[in-house]
Structure 1
């Protein structure tokens, strides 16, 4: 593999970017054209265009879903790293006892509050929203997707 630089840093998934999406766009244009071109089959072409649009919409929303799943995975990894840095031990058992909303909420607490809020999350099962409301000094996350 060649060394990455500005000219080659972008990543495309050819079946998605160069076949599937362009094909859907062309089919949508064709379907809309046929709505006015064939008056006797107008309902059929309207239905065809709606289905193509929904497939296109699904493809776009699937990309959003992938981004959110990746963000959630990063939040869990960030929790494990932070736990290790604070306590000096692995966090698998602790992380398994927490819900994702609790892990995500703990990100907004600085280390001194993190310990107390983690204890409450584990022993009092407070929600992610309660954790966020309990934070006295908010640690902003400016890099969220």
Structure 2
């Protein structure tokens, strides 16, 4: 499968189409139960809230871990291309910009890093600038 800006967003079917909808359904059901009889059903409301929180927290943890891995990947790529640590440039970029830069080919990466810093490009602008898209098929 070819990946580019138009199709790079990924959905994890189990999470996005089963767990999240079922969690919301459970939460709405617990609201209804609690409104009918708050004294007896308050525990159901807590369970509903817990399921919503768990489904979002696990996704946040996965994304944060992937961002850390991408930051390490970018440090390695930058060093391989320049023989200079990425630290100085990295400190001028947000993690979202670094993640967006991950999709650039080695030939585009260095000029695009400078452009992202000098023009304060948003992640979307960075991604739209990339001509030789390097797909990330492992991101959840």
TM-score, with length taken from structure 1: 0.66
What is the aligned partner in structure 2 of residue 55 from structure 1?
50
Give the distance between the partners of 1:43 and 1:56, measured in 2 at CA: 19
Q: Is the partner of 2:85 in helix, strand or coil?
A: coil
Matched, 1:66 2:44: no
Aligned-pair CA distance for 1:57: 2.8
What is the aligned partner in structure 2 of residue 87 from structure 1?
82
Among candidates 90, 105, 108, match of residue 103 of structure 2: 108
Give the distance between the partners of 1:44 and 1:102, measured in 2 at CA: 49
Between the two structures, name the one with larger relative contact order (CA 8 Å, sep ≥ 6): 2
Bigger drift between 110-119 and 56-65 goes to 56-65
Matches within 5 A, 1:1-20: none
Among candidates 120, 126, 130, match of residue 125 of structure 2: 130
Aligned-pair CA distance for 1:42: 3.5
- Rg (Cα) greater in structure: 1
Aligned-pair CA distance for 1:123: 1.7
Give the distance between the partners of 1:136 and 1:59, measured in 2 at CA: 38
Residues matched between the structures, number: 108
Structure 2 spans left out of the alignment, 5+ residues = 1-29
| Residues 47 and 137 of structure 1: CA distance in aligned 2, closer, same or farther (over 3 Å) | same
Give the distance between the partners of 2:82 and 2:139, measured in 1 at CA: 26
Q: CA RMSD in A?
A: 2.1
Aligned-pair CA distance for 1:119: 1.4
| Residues 44 and 124 of structure 1: CA distance in aligned 2, closer, same or farther (over 3 Å) | same
Aligned-pair CA distance for 1:60: 3.4
Structure 1 spans left out of the alignment, 5+ residues = 1-31, 36-40
Bigger drift between 55-64 and 75-84 goes to 55-64
Aligned-pair CA distance for 1:51: 1.3
